[in-house]
């Protein structure tokens, strides 16, 4: 049930109305901007401070729908990117900076913009945002109601389900402080694959993991600023990434690099990070067929520390 302010409810009952929709989008960085479906800009305070909603780059919601059964909501908004939206560029779209932003859709009376007088139509997350012909972006507006259709349950896995570097007191908590593991460096040479290989000034720090493989790299200066990628291999100061960067790597680009976790109980959680108590997995799940043996962390019968324990138990049972 929506809350409709008395002033707007009375206005909607009139023969003619002066209402419009305002779309407020908040990026992961905290940057906020607004779009409106009117022929002029609107400055409105929704309770979080005044914000100018741009009309030049107005939006056109194709579908904003929700039924009583909470079926999947969907909406699409089209908008031109130009200097009329300060702080938004096509380069930001291509780097994915607008992905996973949050949005709120309001209905207001543009002839009476008293702070707080709006109807909250819907809210949710932005999906993929694409730049077309260097000037058009199409955000996918995913309503929070959509999440109610997603099944949630527990799973079993031999590998760890924790997110490396997160606090331990959560369902996917790890307990390792990953922020202190970042090492600053800059690119001194670019490899044959200019979007995957390079030589840097620094790779390893004081981490228990001697080489950051698996690892993460975060670009802090250059065309790829703000983007993170997985590290596939490291040889000396030569680094190879698992996937290509959005823009070619250039000499002088700056980065931060740190080790990640391979999610294996003995090899990673205990031997490297001494963090077995926070392992979020079931390493003793029996593996009985060839297909299961190919799963990450699986052990063939008779191999590894688990195989030795099982083998000894079988021998003991046979001797009795």
Tell me the two tokens of residue 70.
Answer: 């909470």
How would residue 185 be classed by pLDDT, with cut points 50, 70 and 90?
A: very high
Residue 124 has pLDDT above 60, yes or no: yes
pLDDT greater at residue 271 or residue 286: 271
Handedness of CA 194, 197, 201, 204 (dihedral sign): positive
Judge whether 51 lies within some domain: yes
What confidence score (pLDDT) does residue 255 get?
97
Q: Verify that 61 and 23 share a domain, yes or no.
A: yes
What confidence score (pLDDT) does residue 73 get?
52
What confidence score (pLDDT) does residue 314 get?
44
Q: For the segment 78-102, what is each residue's pLDDT rounded down to a tens digit?
A: 555 555 567 777 777 777 778 788 8
Residue 70 has pLDDT above 60, yes or no: no
Judge whether 294 lies within some domain: yes
Which residues constitute the domain of residue 133? 6-149
Q: Rounded to whole angstroms, how far apart are CA atoms 127 and 100?
A: 6
Total of domains in the chain: 3
pTM greater than 0.85 (yes/no):
no
Q: Verify that 232 and 135 share a domain, yes or no.
A: no
Q: Verify that 47 and 128 share a domain, yes or no.
A: yes
Judge whether 272 lies within some domain: no
Q: Verify that 22 and 137 share a domain, yes or no.
A: yes
* Dihedral angle computed from the Cα positions of residues 174, 180, 186 and 191, in that order, rounded to the nearest 10 degrees: -30
Q: For the segment 35-59, what is each residue's pLDDT rounded down to a tens digit?
A: 888 888 999 999 899 999 988 665 6
Other CB atoms within a 10 A radius of the CB of residue 147 amount to 14
CATH of the domain at 235: 2.40.10
Tell me the two tokens of residue 316.
Answer: 């003991």
Tell me the two tokens of residue 15.
Answer: 């023969």
Contacts of 55 (CB under 8 A, 6+ apart): 36, 38, 39, 40, 41, 42
Looking at 241, 259, 277, the residue that finishes a domain is 259
Looking at 217, 239, 259, the residue that finishes a domain is 259
Q: Verify that 93 and 11 share a domain, yes or no.
A: yes
Q: Verify that 182 and 247 share a domain, yes or no.
A: yes
Q: Verify that 72 and 196 share a domain, yes or no.
A: no
Q: Verify that 109 and 212 share a domain, yes or no.
A: no
Q: Verify that 71 and 13 share a domain, yes or no.
A: yes
What confidence score (pLDDT) does residue 293 get?
54
Tell me the two tokens of residue 104.
Answer: 């709120």
Q: Rounded to whole angstroms, how far apart are CA atoms 305 and 198?
A: 38
Other CB atoms within a 10 A radius of the CB of residue 56 amount to 15
- Ranges 5-14, 194-203, 281-290: which has the least confidence: 281-290
Q: Verify that 45 and 118 share a domain, yes or no.
A: yes
* Average pLDDT of the residues of the chain: 80
Judge whether 317 lies within some domain: yes
Tell me the two tokens of residue 251.
Answer: 């000499």
Tell me the two tokens of residue 292.
Answer: 């299961």
């Amino acid at each position: 049930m929506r809350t409709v302010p008395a002033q707007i409810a009375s206005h909607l009952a009139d023969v003619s109305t002066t209402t419009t929709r305002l779309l407020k989008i908040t990026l992961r960085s905290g940057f906020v901007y607004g779009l409106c479906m009117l022929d002029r800009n609107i400055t409105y305070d929704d309770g979080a401070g005044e914000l100018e909603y741009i009309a030049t780059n107005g939006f056109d919601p194709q579908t904003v729908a929700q039924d009583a059964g909470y079926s999947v909501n969907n909406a699409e908004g089209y908008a031109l990117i130009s200097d009329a939206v300060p702080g938004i560029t096509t380069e930001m779209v291509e780097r994915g900076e607008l992905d996973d932003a949050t949005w709120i859709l309001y209905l207001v009376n543009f002839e009476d913009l008293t702070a707080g007088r709006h109807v909250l139509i819907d809210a949710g997350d932005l999906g993929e945002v694409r730049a077309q012909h260097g000037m058009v972006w199409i955000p996918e507006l995913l309503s929070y109601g959509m999440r109610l259709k997603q099944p949630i349950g527990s799973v079993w896995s031999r590998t760890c389900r924790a997110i490396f570097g997160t606090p331990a007191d959560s369902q996917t908590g790890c307990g390792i402080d990953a922020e202190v593991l970042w090492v600053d460096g800059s690119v001194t040479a670019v490899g044959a694959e200019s979007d995957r290989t390079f030589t840097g000034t620094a790779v390893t720090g004081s981490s228990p993991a001697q080489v950051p493989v698996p690892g993460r790299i975060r670009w802090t200066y250059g065309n790829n600023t703000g983007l993170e990628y997985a590290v596939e291999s490291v040889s000396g100061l030569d680094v190879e990434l698992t996937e290509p960067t959005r823009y070619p790597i250039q000499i002088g680009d700056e980065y931060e690099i740190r080790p990640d976790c391979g999610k294996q109980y003995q090899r990673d959680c205990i031997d490297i990070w001494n963090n077995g108590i926070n392992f979020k997995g079931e390493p003793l799940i029996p593996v009985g067929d060839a297909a299961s043996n190919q799963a990450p962390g699986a052990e063939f019968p008779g191999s590894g520390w688990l195989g030795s324990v099982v083998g000894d138990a079988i021998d003991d049972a046979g001797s009795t």
